[in-house]
Every structure is written in C-alpha cells, then in structure tokens.
Chains A and B, each alone.
Chain A
Amino acid sequence: MLKGSCLCGDIHFETEAQPQGASMCHCSQCRKQSGGIWASAYVKDSDLTITGPVSWYETSPQAKRGSCPRCGSFLFWKAHDEDTTSFALGAIDGASGLKIEKHIFTASKGDFYDIADGLPQRD
C-alpha cells in the first residue's frame, strides 16, 4: 500500500498497485506548476483512490492537472485518453520503494540546473 497526501492534509490518495514509469518531467508546464521539476509515477485509474476536493485544471485538450485548492500542492496529472493517473512522488508519505527511471522532456528543462544522475534522458 502506497499512501500520499497534500501539505495541508485535505487530499489523500492511495494505491495497492505497483506504480509504473517513475520519472522526472522537465516540460514547461511541469516546470511552471511545480516550480522546477515534477516527479511522478502512474497507476490505473481503477487502482487509485483519491479523497478530498481536488481542483482540476485543464491544461490542454489532452490532459488535466490536479492540485489542492487550500495549500496548492500539485498532486496529479491525467491524460484524457489514457486509463491511468500520474501522482506526485513528493507527496508520498513514508518510503515508497520507488526509484526514478528516467528524465522526460529534457529539451524544455530550465537553465538553472544540471541533470547529473546518469539516468536516461528523453527530449
């Protein structure tokens, strides 16, 4: 069981599934919203239980982003044509047992940091 929550505790989520695709996203949207880099993994929608008043923002016709309206924590990303939801690894409570597998959208990364952990990078 993996559990996570926002900073103020209004929103909780949990899953018993094994999350997939642990990655750091450097795209301009994740950069704006997270303040730097967004780290996430995903599970099937049916395997993710979310409680609390998630505020969904339609970033594009393809996807929406979920955050907490009270504390602003950026928790979820969901593509409309996929049956999975990505959740923020920073929101996990306790050890996750997960390891980042790759960096994505590195062509859009900010110029104020370097990536030096040796993991694969995809533009």
Chain B
Amino acid sequence: MTGKVTKGSCLCGAVAFDLHGPLRPVYACHCKQCRKTSGHFWAATSVPDEALTFTRDEGLRWFRSSENTKRGFCGTCGSSLFWVPEGERRTVVAAGALEGELELQTKAHVFMCDKGSYYEIGDGLPQFEEFKGDENA
C-alpha cells in the first residue's frame, strides 16, 4: 500500500486501524439503525476493503444488523466504528474515529426518512430520503 495513511481508533484503543489512500466524502446517515447505535446520527467515510488494515483488533465485535450488513464496534468501550455491506468489498468507517486533521467534508445527509424529530440540520447540504449510491454522490 502506498499513499496517505489516516489513523483511526475507538475510544479505549482496543481497536485501531489504518486507512490507506483517499477517503470518500462523509455521508451523515440518519437511518434508524445508525441512530440507535451512534446515539444520534452516524457520519462515515468509505474505503475499499484492501485499504483497511488493523493494528489492534482485540476489542472488535460484529453485530449482524440485517441479512447482508454487519456493524463493527468495540466490545470494551462501545464505539461505533464500521458498517459493512457484504458483497460490495468495502467498509464504511466512522469519521469520528479518525485522527488528525482530516481532508474530509460532509457531502450529504441520507435516510432523512428516519431522522429524529429532536434536531434540525441547517447546513445547506443535500438531503436524501434514502441513499441509493452513486446517483446521490
């Protein structure tokens, strides 16, 4: 692997990882699953599977959140770290877990159909009822 390395970790450090190369812009997901696991909404980038390497993974736990998706978190501190759409050969990674100055911007809000009623957004970014992929990118 060559190119830029972005480091990330959970709160306690029992999961730590490197992301190699460019990162997809961040999408803020307001779906019910992301709201439940994150506690609010979940902001994440995405990398090809080969661009994610772990330096510590003893805390890593997976929860099967639907037939074709799973969510990765730290079993020690409860940090919400990953979402994997199986078969797509990529891992969606929490932007909040990344360290240092990031060259990342949020691109849009997705799954607004499930958004909580207790907050407003107001940042002027595109908002999509769902998220179908590249046509929203």
Residue numbers of A with Cβ under 8 A of B are: 5-8, 22, 24, 29, 31-40, 55, 57, 59, 65-75, 88-92, 95-96, 98-100, 110-118
Contact = CB atoms under 8 A, between A and B. Distances in A.
Given A7-B65, A90-B35, A110-B95, 17 more contacts: A6-B37, A33-B80, A34-B94, A35-B44, A35-B96, A35-B97, A36-B96, A67-B77, A71-B37, A72-B78, A74-B79, A91-B39, A110-B102, A112-B95, A113-B105, A113-B123, A117-B119
B17 interface: no
Interface in B63-81: 63, 65, 71-81
Nearest to B25: A112
B73 A72 contact: yes
A115 B124 CA distance: 11
Nearest to B61: A72
B78 A57 contact: yes
